[in-house]
Structure 1
């Protein structure tokens, strides 16, 4: 076979000349879809078995084809099969190599199939594997968050609204907040997997085939749970990718918020935690610096995941049915997001596991911001005072403390009664962070008993 024929496109019969060299460069997708080669070979083998099942191929021909695909996969692994840009994509490169090996027999493999349903098959197989790996890594992250919550349930820290001291909480409650956020992300990835788990093979270019293609056979051969229902929808659909990117985006948002918290908590001003040296770097100029680079890079990388969702949405928004070449560009945002989610999980999980809490430093912050003001207001409510009145009374108390450089915990009973006669000595029973935490025992509250309930429920979910 001469070089001119080797580089000729398999669809070239309609054309009197080959595409311009710049067109070949412009239209190729091999730089992205070559990573589909394993899934393309799996799909090709299923196609060959189905063609044998319906009588297009003989058993002997099937054996030759399967053996040739094994050889092609080995050549790719060994680096001896190098894809040609002139052949555009992974599908044409592998099919061309099959034809080189088997001649006319190799040319039978594309019977009743289009690259439109072929790429959809490869992509869905690829995404199933990618999502399963992410689910595995997310489960590891969730386990670490449970471990941290269990270890830190008795540590009391300030909770914040508007980045201002608000109310005391169990640190275990904080870790469990992110457990539930990431657990929802895991569910979204699971939903994306379920949406992906439909076999598109046999939809053809857009309308199916006049041949007796057995889609149930290839569905079972490729281990899909379902078959797509409509051939037009099948080759134009990228919802499963959008659903994956949405799951990745909410994960990215949660990651960025967690990183921001931990960066703030590690500052000299807060000094709540010590970040592990293995995930920090120093300054090239200032020898005193310990920078939270891993957290900052993770926070920065999340923007790329968010952009990927909009990238594909904008690509899809004006496309008429069915397949359009625009969809060749659906891979870059998805592949980028897969890689980014994986590296973030690879870094974030061990980083969180090695964080050390500076309990004595944290305690200093429990005397700031009048964290127990709401407890005082609810104390008055239990005494029969309307809440809006209690809110005003306690607000005045806080003003009094600020003017006199005092804390609520240091007021005398006379000072309490000066603001309302209903205050009694039992007010002092509630003026500790531990009491404030444990009295918030409503379902989902920060009471340590509630945090332990959450931990047990989380453990049962992971099982």
Structure 2
């Protein structure tokens, strides 16, 4: 091995690692993503070393300039990482030493790769979570637009995938709006957990040098400093927080995708997804497959697995740093990529859906959607609900046997089951009126859906201003 490619920890060893060990232990395929953050952290650390008198102003200027040059080299593809140097930290530091000689070696004063990778990772995650939050806000806006646009469209609501009660389609969109709003809050919690400065914790116990952690905290724009050096280098809670937020998010996108996949089948035919997010069949020219929605549903498993991957990785690890933690990046990077792709696809897809009102209308006459309304009609006539439930159940059974709908029944047939029925029973047998009667707070009445949309808009304005 060329001496300049020797690991920066090699002084303790009489021989270099086996070639297979170099390949086995390298992490460049994942941590090279952090090169910007690593250089950012090194600049902050260098300024702090000058602040406490370890670097002169001239030395600091040379280091900062060299680090900026290295960043340009990486971006232009002029600096390619070497597996022999294991990771992003040692590759960049080795290049700094190449450029500045012994002065470059001063940058690692009071620092370990343990607190260095923690710093890089947290900086990277803050940027990644912020980008996801921005896209999620846009997605929430599209759901609000759909809810406002589709508030007057009535669709059957389902339980057990059986026709249950009529609801406003706007109400349906708002149901997902609130789910994704909670997801946004979880991402914000993950950001807060991430926004902690680890630099200065060292390998595990801090440093004998008078490092100024508050200085680097401000330089790197972290909210607070970590409190305990042992906890700092072993902590991966912030990644678990992020992966949990991501997991609940994909559970919601999977549920939304399943709803829409069902709705665009021939059996339902409620909606037409945009052509741009569908594919055809290599054999059957008639097919229009909702592939983007199916893939969104399918990608859920990978994100959920990422959460379990990290949880199993850190289960039972002793304090403090263990090399197992090198494997914490693949599941997180995979999840970040997946979440971004899902949002990039679902946002325009939802925006471009065409609702087929004429095909929905016949479904409003199926499944006795207004049976509960009939039961509550009798409650208003002072019949106890448990009695009304049994009465209306009998009426539905009669209709099934006679192949009739509730609207087809004569007043004599109604009164056969309960004398409290009067001619005004027919005035409630309208899905649209049934929707608007459900004015309870959070109900499906169109006035309530419009209230929800207004609240959602105010929420988006507030979130954008933060």
Under a length normalisation based on structure 2, what TM-score does the superposition of the two structures give? 0.98
Q: What whole-Å deviation, never above 9, does each CA across 1:240-283 have from its counterpart, x for those lacking one?
A: 00000000000000000000000000000000001111100000
Return the alpha-carbon distance in structure 2 between the equivalents of residues 276 and 259 of structure 1.
Answer: 14
Q: CA deviation at 1:228?
A: 0.5
Structure 1 residue runs without a partner (length 5+): none
Q: CA deviation at 1:6?
A: 1.6
Q: Out of 88, 113, 132, which is 1:115 matched to?
A: 113
Give the structure 2 partner of residue 349 of structure 1.
Answer: 347
Tell me whether 1:188 sits opposite 2:209 in the alignment.
no
Tell me whether 1:211 sits opposite 2:209 in the alignment.
yes
Give the structure 2 partner of residue 296 of structure 1.
Answer: 294
Give the structure 1 partner of residue 218 of structure 2.
Answer: 220
Return the alpha-carbon distance in structure 2 between the equivalents of residues 358 and 31 of structure 1.
Answer: 48
Give the structure 1 partner of residue 464 of structure 2.
Answer: none
For 1:399-410, list aligned pairs within 5 A: 399-410=397-408
Tell me whether 1:96 sits opposite 2:94 in the alignment.
yes
Tell me whether 1:232 sits opposite 2:230 in the alignment.
yes
Return the alpha-carbon distance in structure 2 between the equivalents of residues 275 and 203 of structure 1.
Answer: 52
Give the structure 1 partner of residue 273 of structure 2.
Answer: 275
Give the structure 2 partner of residue 418 of structure 1.
Answer: 416
Q: What whole-Å deviation, never above 9, does each CA across 1:366-419 have from its counterpart, x for those lacking one?
A: 000000000001111111111111110000000111111110012111111111
Return the alpha-carbon distance in structure 2 between the equivalents of residues 303 and 256 of structure 1.
Answer: 10
Q: CA deviation at 1:181?
A: 0.3
Give the structure 2 partner of residue 51 of structure 1.
Answer: 49
Return the alpha-carbon distance in structure 2 between the equivalents of residues 312 and 275 of structure 1.
Answer: 36
Return the alpha-carbon distance in structure 1 between the equivalents of residues 135 and 168 of structure 2.
Answer: 26
Q: What whole-Å deviation, never above 9, does each CA across 1:187-210 have from its counterpart, x for those lacking one?
A: 000000000000000000001001
Return the alpha-carbon distance in structure 2 between the equivalents of residues 214 and 429 of structure 1.
Answer: 76
Give the structure 2 partner of residue 19 of structure 1.
Answer: 17
Q: Out of 358, 361, 364, which is 2:362 matched to?
A: 364
Q: CA deviation at 1:165?
A: 0.2
Q: What whole-Å deviation, never above 9, does each CA across 1:101-126 have from its counterpart, x for those lacking one?
A: 11111100001110000000000000
Return the alpha-carbon distance in structure 2 between the equivalents of residues 10 and 167 of structure 1.
Answer: 68
Give the structure 1 partner of residue 245 of structure 2.
Answer: 247
Give the structure 2 partner of residue 324 of structure 1.
Answer: 322
Q: CA deviation at 1:319?
A: 0.2
Return the alpha-carbon distance in structure 2 between the equivalents of residues 417 and 387 of structure 1.
Answer: 17
Residue 70 of structure 1: SS of its match in structure 2?
Answer: helix
Return the alpha-carbon distance in structure 2 between the equivalents of residues 445 and 177 of structure 1.
Answer: 11
CA RMSD in angstroms, aligned pairs only: 0.6
Residue 269 of structure 1: SS of its match in structure 2?
Answer: coil
Q: CA deviation at 1:24?
A: 0.3
Residue 167 of structure 1: SS of its match in structure 2?
Answer: strand
For 1:335-346, list aligned pairs within 5 A: 335-346=333-344
Return the alpha-carbon distance in structure 1 between the equivalents of residues 115 and 194 of structure 2.
Answer: 14
Give the structure 1 partner of residue 64 of structure 2.
Answer: 66
The 4+ residue runs of structure 1 with deviation greater than 4 A are none
Q: Out of 395, 398, 413, which is 1:397 matched to?
A: 395
For this pair of structures, how many residues does the alignment match?
461
Residue 366 of structure 1: SS of its match in structure 2?
Answer: helix
Residue 72 of structure 1: SS of its match in structure 2?
Answer: helix
Structure 2 residue runs without a partner (length 5+): 462-466
Q: Out of 233, 254, 257, which is 1:256 matched to?
A: 254
Return the alpha-carbon distance in structure 1 between the equivalents of residues 18 and 282 of structure 2.
Answer: 50
Residue 365 of structure 2: SS of its match in structure 1?
Answer: coil
Return the alpha-carbon distance in structure 2 between the equivalents of residues 401 and 285 of structure 1.
Answer: 44
Return the alpha-carbon distance in structure 2 between the equivalents of residues 458 and 226 of structure 1.
Answer: 32
Give the structure 2 partner of residue 162 of structure 1.
Answer: 160
For 1:429-448, list aligned pairs within 5 A: 429-448=427-446
Q: CA deviation at 1:4?
A: 1.6
Return the alpha-carbon distance in structure 2 between the equivalents of residues 95 and 454 of structure 1.
Answer: 54
Return the alpha-carbon distance in structure 2 between the equivalents of residues 416 and 231 of structure 1.
Answer: 76
Give the structure 1 partner of residue 460 of structure 2.
Answer: 462
Residue 159 of structure 1: SS of its match in structure 2?
Answer: strand
Residue 167 of structure 2: SS of its match in structure 1?
Answer: strand
Q: What whole-Å deviation, never above 9, does each CA across 1:26-80 have from its counterpart, x for those lacking one?
A: 0000111001000000000000000000000000000000000011011101111
Return the alpha-carbon distance in structure 2 between the equivalents of residues 398 and 279 of structure 1.
Answer: 41
Q: What whole-Å deviation, never above 9, does each CA across 1:328-351 have from its counterpart, x for those lacking one?
A: 000000000000000000000000
